[in-house]
Amino acid sequence: MLPIFETRAQGKLLLIGEYFVLDGALALAVPVHFGQRLWVEPGDSIGNLSWQSQNPDGSVWFEAEFMWPEFQILNASDQNTAQTLAEILRATQRQNPSFFIENQSFRVFTQNDFPREWGLGTSSTLIAALARWAGVDPYKVLFETLGGSGYDIACAYAEGPILYRLDGGQKPEVSVAHLQGVPHLYDQLYFVFLGKKQNSREGIARYRERVSKNPEIIEKISGLTQRFLEAKTLTQLDSILLEHEIIVSETIGLPRAKDLYFSDFWGQVKSLGAWGGDFVLVTSERSEAETRGYFKGKGFKVILRWEELVF
C-alpha cells in the first residue's frame, strides 16, 4: 500500500553547550546521517490510530492502538512508551484540532536506521516528523511533553551544523554554523559509543537540581562555542574541549569520561549530551588504525569518523 504521507527526520549530536543551552548559552549541534522515517497509511477501523515502531532490520520494538479524540490507549506492547506517545499526540492535536477527526483511521509506522541505544534522537526525530505531518510547531510539542532545549528538533531537518540558543530561555534561535577547520581538522575527530544509554530527562533534572542560572558561566560556554567554530589546529580544539569538560564536570558533579575510561589516551575526550553514556567526541593526531586499535582494546567497538556520522 502506498503511504499517504512520508518523511524522514535526522538525528543529532550536541558538540558544545550541553546543559547550559537550557539557560541561554550558545550551542553547536550537528545533524547526523542516521535518522527516523515515518510513514502513514489508511487504517482499517474508523476512529482508531494504530502505531508500529521498527528497528533498522524491520523487527518491531513497539506497537499500540489508540482511539481519538482523547488518544485513549486500547492496547500496547509497552504502557510507558504508549503513555508518552499519547502525550505527544495530544500536544499535536491541541495545535491542530482538525488533524485527527472521528471519521478517520490511520496506520502509522516509524523506523530508525540506527540502534536506539545510540541516543541520536529517537524521540526528537519522532516529534519533528509527526509535527511535519500535522503541520504544527515541533518545538511547542516538545516543550509541552518531553522538555529539553529543542536543539535536537532544530537538527531534524537542518542542512548542516547549526548554532542554537534559547532567547530569554524560551524562544529557539537557529543559524548556520560555519566550521573553519574543515576538512583537515575534522579528519582527526572520532565518535566513540560508550554503550551506556543515558536518559536525557534525568540528566536535565540533575542539572536543574545542582545549578542556578549563572550568567558568567553561560558567557564562558558561549565563548567556547565561538572558539570551536574558529579552531584551525588540533591543539586549539583540544584546549577548548578540555575547558568545556572541566566546567561541566565541576558544575554537575560528575567525573569526565576520560578520567573514567581513557586516562592513558593521548588526545581529548568530550562527553556529548547527557553525561555518562552514549557517544563521546575524541581527538587524535595519530593514525586511524592506531586510534581505533586503542578504543577496541578497551572494549569499545563502535568508532565512527566525523564524516561517517556528521551530516
CATH value at residue 211: 3.30.70.890
DSSP 1-40: ---SEEEEEEEEEEEE-TTGGGGT--EEEEEEEEEEEEEE
- For 231, the domain range is 186-309
More confident residue, 202 or 279: 279
- Amino acid making up residue 89: L
Residues 155, 246: Cα–Cα separation, whole Å: 26
Bridge partner residues of 63 (DSSP): 52
Q: How far apart are CA 113 and CA 126, in angstroms?
A: 13
Strand 27-42 with 72-76, pairing: unpaired
> What is the Cα 286 distance to its own chain's centre?
29
* Residue 210 vs residue 235, higher pLDDT: 235
Question: Where residue 254 falls among pLDDT bands split at 50, 70, 90?
Answer: confident
- Please give the average per-residue pLDDT across 7-29, as a whole number: 95
176, 207, 225 - which closes a domain:
176
Same domain (yes/no): 99, 79: yes
**pLDDT at 198 exceeding the cut of 60:** no
Band of pLDDT at residue 301, cut at 50, 70 and 90: very high
267 and 125 within one domain: no
What's the CA dihedral at 159, 160, 165, 167 to 10 degrees?
-30
* 170 plus 244 within the same structural domain: no
Let me know if residue 278 belongs to a domain.
Answer: yes
Query: Which residue carries 536535565 as its cell?
Result: 204
Q: Do residue 15 and residue 106 come from a single domain?
A: yes
Q: Which of 203, 212, 210, 296 is nearest to 14 (CA)?
A: 203
Among 111, 142, 176, residue at a domain's last position = 176
What integer pLDDT is reported at residue 157 of this predicted model? Answer: 98
How many Å apart are CA 182 and CA 155, to the nearest integer? 19
pLDDT at 43: 93
Distances (CA, A) of 278 to 33, 116, 281, 300: 16, 10, 10, 12
191 contacts: CB under 8 Å, gap ≥ 6: 13, 272, 279, 280, 281, 282, 303, 304, 305, 306, 309
Model pLDDT, residue 53: 98
What's the number of domains the chain is made of?
2
The tens digit of pLDDT for each residue in 140-184 reads 999 999 999 999 999 999 999 999 999 986 899 999 999 877 667
Query: Is it the case that residue 232 has pLDDT exceeding 80?
Result: yes
For 237, the grid coordinates are: 580544539
Confidence of residue 82 (pLDDT cuts 50, 70, 90): very high
Q: What is the pLDDT of residues 96-151, one digit of tens each?
A: 998 887 778 999 999 999 999 998 999 999 999 999 999 999 999 999 999 999 99
pLDDT in tens, 19-42: 899 999 999 999 999 999 999 999
Average pLDDT over the chain reads 92
Residue ending a domain, among 118, 151, 176, is 176
Mean pLDDT, range 267-282, rounded to an integer:
86
